[in-house]
A = this chain, B = another copy of it.
Amino acid sequence: MYPIRLIVIGRPRLAPVRELETHYQGLLKTFVRLAVVELPEGKGDPPRQLKDEAERIRPHLLSVRCPVLLSAEGPPRASEAFAKWLGARVDRGDSLAFAVGSSHGFDPGLKAEVREHLSLGPMTFPHDLSRVLFLEQLYRAFAILKGTAYHK
């Protein structure tokens, strides 16, 4: 089973958001061995907080062959295009890790270090909900790659 690491900051505040995370993590078990690394939020003003978080994220993210940041700066991709991007990396056997930032996003230094940025689209969603959306897109991508039926 393909291993994928998901790095997140803190716990979602809303219970139904946590339940949806669990739901999609459960669905993903058909396709991947998902390891979720939950790191504590950084402290201080936003720049200081993001530096803290970047220090915690780095060892988990930069130790894989293909580290990816979920950020608005990534190229907009349709679900099929994301599936194709993912499939190419899985075929090469690249180790993959995706990081979802906190409410302020990521430290600019970390953003510059990581080449691959993935955007969930031009709209800004709450970062808690972005975790759910990413899990859903990851599940959808594998369903597309495997040709599995999946309810829209």
Contacts and interface: CB of A to CB of B under 8 A. Distances in A.
Contact of A126 (B19, B104, B124, B151): B151
- Interface extent on A, as a size class? 20 to 34
Contact of A23 (B14, B23, B104): B14
Nearest to A76: B122
A95 interface: no
B127 A76 contact: no
Contacts of A15: 16, 19
Nearest to A20: B16
Interface of A: 14-17, 19-20, 23, 76-79, 81-82, 103-104, 120-127, 129, 132-133, 136-137, 140, 151-152
